[in-house]
């Protein structure tokens, strides 16, 4: 069964008012259960708006989105979101940050320890459980962010340029590690980025959006084998996809 369906969605900020701004128009998309999809498009084409609506932070002005047939409205832990800016709590250790959601929902101490152990390891922070966020690099704080969202055990992971602020080398390592965690958990991932190489490397499918109002311009299926390896970025097949998509983006 398809996991998320975006059905004829249009979004106009301030609809009906003098300052009305249509940022997304006529979007139809299906995200299959367990798939990894990236969304690319120039700045301002409505990528973050689309993702925030999927998270349930606000409703579209027209059309709807459904998760397993149920209309999405309001936030729910089934849909977890990671932003570019870290959302790590500076007053909690790595472990406490990671178990924050389950603790809020009344998980017992032993359940919390179990979740902390599992997810600190999965995001590559084993040994850093008792560190404070200020002692971590940007990449490590991002790992805490991802671990915390995973610890809520969402069905859908919404990621809005999560690695946008990281240096190239850290970014590549984070991409490989993200794929490894995804391969083990098989959540549905929707990943927004303006980095074409990142989108191709990670995804089963890359959705290219047009400039505002964002429409779907093209959907590219990426058939590179998994697990993805860094060397694949240099293959002809990879570079051809990148060139083709680059030509479609509004520069």
Site for ligand ADP in 45-104 (CB under 6 A): 45-49
Nearest CA to 211 among 6, 8, 24? Answer: 24
**Strand, coil or helix: what is 50?**
helix
* Tokens coding 149: 């969202």
- In this chain, which of 10, 48, 185, 217 binds Mg ion, going by CB under 5 A? 48
Site for ligand ADP in 208-227 (CB under 6 A): 212
For residue 25, the minimal CB distance to ligand ADP (Å) is 12
* Tokens coding 76: 């729910």
DSSP secondary structure letter of residue 222: -
Question: Is 43 a residue that touches ligand ADP (CB under 6 A)?
Answer: yes
CA gap 238, 94 in Å, rounded: 36
Nearest CA to 207 among 1, 23, 43, 30? Answer: 30
CA gap 220, 245 in Å, rounded: 8
DSSP per-residue letters across 140-199 = HHHHHHHHHHHHT--SEEEEESTTTTS-HHHHHHHHHHHHHHHHHH--EEEEE-S-HHHH
Site for ligand ADP in 97-156 (CB under 6 A): none
For residue 51, the minimal CB distance to ligand ADP (Å) is 8
CA gap 114, 154 in Å, rounded: 17
Question: Is 162 a residue that touches ligand ADP (CB under 6 A)?
Answer: no
Residue 49 or 175: the one with the smaller Cβ distance to ligand ADP is 49
Residue 13 or 132: the one with the smaller Cβ distance to ligand ADP is 13
CA gap 186, 179 in Å, rounded: 10
- In this chain, which of 8, 15, 21, 74 binds ligand ADP, going by CB under 6 A? 21
In this structure, what are the phi and psi dihedrals at residue 172, rounded to the nearest 5 degrees?
-65, -40
Q: Which stretch binds ligand ADP (CB under 6 A): 37-45, 72-80, 141-149, 167-175?
A: 37-45
* Closest CB to Mg ion: residue number: 48
| CB of 61 closer than 8 Å to CB of 251 | no
Q: Which does 23 bind (CB under 5 to 8 A by kind): Mg ion, ligand ADP, none?
A: ligand ADP
Q: Which does 21 bind (CB under 5 to 8 A by kind): Mg ion, ligand ADP, none?
A: ligand ADP
Residue 47 or 187: the one with the smaller Cβ distance to Mg ion is 47
Residue 48 or 217: the one with the smaller Cβ distance to Mg ion is 48
Interface map 7-46 toward Mg ion (x if CB under 5 A): ----------------------------------------
Interface residue list for Mg ion (CB under 5 A): 48
Interface residue list for ligand ADP (CB under 6 A): 13, 21, 23, 41, 43-49, 212
């Amino acid at each position: 069964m398809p996991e998320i369906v975006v059905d004829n969605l249009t979004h106009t900020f301030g609809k009906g008012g003098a300052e009305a701004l249509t940022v997304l128009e006529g979007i139809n998309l299906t995200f299959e259960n367990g798939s990894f999809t990236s969304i690319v498009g120039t700045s301002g084409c409505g990528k973050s708006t689309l993702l925030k609506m999927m998270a349930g932070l606000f409703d579209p002005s027209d059309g709807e989105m459904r998760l397993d047939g149920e209309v999405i409205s309001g936030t729910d832990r089934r849909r977890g979101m990671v932003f570019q800016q870290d959302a790590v709590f500076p007053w909690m250790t790595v472990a406490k940050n990671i178990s924050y959601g389950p603790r809020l929902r009344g998980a017992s101490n032993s359940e919390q320890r179990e979740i902390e152990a599992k997810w600190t390891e999965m995001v590559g922070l084993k040994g850093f459980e008792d560190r404070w966020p200020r002692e971590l690099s940007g990449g490590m704080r991002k790992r805490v962010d991802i671990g915390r969202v995973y610890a809520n055990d969402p069905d859908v992971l919404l990621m809005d340029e999560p690695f946008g602020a990281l240096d190239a080398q850290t970014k590549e390592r984070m991409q490989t590690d993200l794929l490894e965690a995804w391969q083990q958990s098989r959540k549905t991932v929707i990943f927004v980025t303006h980095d074409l190489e990142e989108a191709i490397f990670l995804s089963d499918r890359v959705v290219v959006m047009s400039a505002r109002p964002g429409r779907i311009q093209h959907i590219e299926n990426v058939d590179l084998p998994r697990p993805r390896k860094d060397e694949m970025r240099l293959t002809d097949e990879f570079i051809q996809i990148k060139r083709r998509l680059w030509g479609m983006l509004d520069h």
